[in-house]
Amino acid sequence: MKYIFSGLMLILLALSANAQSYATLGQNPCYGGTTAGPKFGLTFQASNPIRDTQVGWFDIDNESFDNHNVRDNSFALGLLFQYRMEDAYLRLRVNSTKINILEYHDNQSDQYRNVTNVHGRQNKITLAPGITWLLNHRNLDLYFGFELPLTLHGVFTLDNQTIRTGSTADEILFKGDIYSEIPSGYSVGVGGIFGFNYFFHRKFSVGAEFSPSLLYAKLGGQTDITMDITHPEPSFFSESNSQDALYGYTFYENRFSFGLSVWF
């Protein structure tokens, strides 16, 4: 992955060195990329939700996605603000990611039934200033560039409830809740941008972009864990913590976004 990212960065550097000559080709006065075209762009983006906080329930192959029922309702939405200069766009991307994963286990035998629900939730906010250069071709704008994403990772909460019943649903043998909080953190780095906009009207376009990023992160830390066993009686309650920090951890993200743009 490191070599792929390095190769993409070299391609971007080579393209940017020739951006001035490329940007003058194939200009269409009715669409983007021209001195007569709109100056400002506002894009509504939908992206793949990226979960960087690693949690064993959702990241061990044989315990979650492969063998159990997982409902992933995560999503990422954002706004992209752009200002066009002669041959480039200055941009600011603002993105909100909501991680919402529910894993459901239902294990039955002749003697008992185990039902476990594990619910993971987290909110993230990303600010990413950047610049792109245009490769115009009539009403199809191809572009490339860089951005500097800064992401604030909220607290990752994990709710784990297990109920064991006997031969009937009313015969509760065990009931317990485990609540965990993984601390907030941040990541910052550099990302390449490759994308396109198709102008179906002078002031409207649809497009997509791909952005591989290399990031430095400070995630996790002291994880607070609360255990509450309500059955069998007497009930049991405890608090503990673990250390799962990823300080200075360098990793990669691949973002895919689709967008609808309005130009002014």
Give tens-digit pLDDT for 9-67: 444 444 444 444 444 434 444 454 444 568 899 999 999 998 876 665 565 544 444 45
| Least confident stretch, 61-75, 130-144, 218-232 | 61-75
What are the φ and ψ backbone dihedral angles of 25, each rounded to 5 degrees?
-90, 140
Segment 162-168 shows an average pLDDT of 84
Q: Where are the domains of the chain?
A: 2-263
- Res. 69 pLDDT band, cuts 50 70 90: low
Question: Exposed, middle or buried: residue 161 (CB in 10 Å: 0-12, 13-18, 19+)?
Answer: middle
| Identity at 171, one-letter amino acid code | E
% of the chain surpassing 70 pLDDT: 72
pTM of the shown model: 0.80
CA–CA–CA angle 182, 185, 186 (5° rounding): 150
Mean pLDDT calculated for residue range 2-13:
47
Q: Please say if the pLDDT value at position 247 is more than 80.
A: no
C-alpha radius of gyration, the chain, whole number: 24
* Dist CA 143 CA 131 (whole Å): 10
Confidence of residue 70 (pLDDT cuts 50, 70, 90): confident
CATH number of 2-263: 2.40.160.20
- The answer to whether 257 touches 91, Cβ cutoff 8 Å, is no
Confidence class for position 85, pLDDT limits 50, 70, 90: confident
Average pLDDT over every residue of 154-183: 86
Instruction: Report how far residue 191's alpha carbon sits from residue 20's, in angstroms, rounded to the nearest whole number.
Output: 22
